[in-house]
Amino acid sequence: MDEGIRVARKRLLQMHFESGVGHIGGNLSCLDALVLLHRERLAESDRFILSKGHAAGALYVALWSVGKLRDSDLSQFHRDDTLLPGHPPPSGVDGVLFATGSLGHGLSLAAGTALALKLQKAKGQVYCLTSDGEWQEGSTWEALIFAAHRRLANLTVLIDHNQLQGFGRTDAVASMSPLWSKLAGFDVDLSIVDGHDLSAIRTALDRESSTLRIIVLETRKGNGVSFMQDRMEWHYLPMQADQYRQAVEDIDNLWSDGDAQS
C-alpha cells in the first residue's frame, strides 16, 4: 500500500472542500496515475499534458507531491487572481505546458510536442492524460491518426476510463464500447489496466514500444469515497462539511482495512 496516494487523496479532498468547488469525482479517478507518473516517471526532459483539463485539481496535487507547488498555492485553488484556476493555466506553473480543458485538444498538443522532440532528435517522453468522454471528439481521433502515422514512440497516452461524463454514462451518451476495440485498429501499443493498481500501471509504463503507446486505465469516478463512487452527480457537486468528513474517513478506512493497492 502506498501512503503517498492516501496523503494525495486527502489533500485533494481538502483543497476542493476549502475552495467549495466540484469536479471531485473525475479528479479522484485519475489521481493515482498522476501521482505515480510525477513521483516515479517524469524526468527533467519529459513533458506532461493534461487534456482532461477539469482534473486540474489532481494535477496540482501531483505537482504538490513532488514539491513543485506549496500548501499555500493549493489553498488559493479556484479563487480570484489565483495561480491555480479550475483548468490548467497557460503559464506560471512549473509542469503545466498548455492551458487545456476544452476537451479534445490535449492529444493534438501532445502529438505536436512529441513530433517536435523527434525531429530535433531530443530526449524526452511526452505523456498525455485524456478522459474517456473525450474520445467522442473528432479532434481526438485526428490526433490519434497523426500520432500513429508518425509512429511517435516518444508519446504515451493514458485514458481515464471511468465510464461517466457530464450527462451520463459514456456508453449511453455516445457509445463506442468497448473503446479499446476501436483503438486496437490502429498501429499502437495498447494496454488495459486497473487504473488504481499502481503495480499494473508501472508494468504498462515499463513496456518497450516502437510506436505510440496507449494505456487504458479502468478507473472509478469518485474512487475511494463511498457516496461518490460511480455516481455521475460527483462530476459537478461540491462537498458539504459532513460529506467532507465522511470522505476523509472513507480514505483512511481503505488503508486501515488493507484494501488500497500498491
Q: Residue 260: is its pLDDT beyond 90?
A: no
Helix (H, G, I), strand (E, B) or coil at 213: strand
- The one-letter code for the residue type at 170 is T
The answer to whether residue 262 scores a pLDDT higher than 60 is no
Report CA dihedral (251, 257, 206, 142) to the nearest 10 degrees: -40
Rg for the chain, CA atoms, rounded: 17
Output the pLDDT for position 103. 78
The predicted structure's pLDDT at residue 169: 76
pLDDT (0 to 100) of residue 258: 65
* Confidence (pLDDT) at 171: 75
Quick check: 175 pLDDT over 90?
no
Q: For the chain, what percentages of helix, strand and coil (3-state, to nearest 5) are there?
A: 45, 15, 40
Please state, in angstroms and rounded to a whole number, the distance separating the CA atoms of residues 245 and 17: 10
In three-state secondary structure terms, 15 is helix
Region 125-154: mean pLDDT is 96
Stretch among 181-190, 230-239, 240-249 having the lowest mean pLDDT: 230-239
| 63 pLDDT higher than 80 | yes
Q: Is the pLDDT of residue 109 over 80?
A: yes
Average pLDDT over residues 97-105: 86
Residues 66-93, mean pLDDT to the nearest whole number = 95
Average pLDDT over residues 131-153: 95
Q: What is the pLDDT of residues 143-156, one digit of tens each?
A: 999 999 999 999 99
Task: Give the C-alpha separation, 148 to 186, whole Å.
Answer: 7
- Asked whether the predicted pLDDT for residue 1 surpasses 50, the reply is no
Nearest-angstrom CA–CA distance, 238 and 174: 27
- Give percent of the chain with pLDDT exceeding 70: 97
The pLDDT of residue 206 is above 60:
yes
Tell me the C-alpha distance between 25 and 69, whole Å. 22
What's the pTM? 0.94
Q: How far apart are CA 33 and CA 26, in angstroms?
A: 12
CB 47 within 8 A of CB 97: yes
Rounded Cα gap, residues 114 and 110, in angstroms: 6
DSSP state of 64: H
Residue found under cell 476537451? 103
Domains of the chain: 3-256 (3.40.50.970)
Please tell me whether the peptide bond between 178 and the residue prior to it is cis, using omega within 30 degrees of 0. Answer: yes
DSSP 69: S
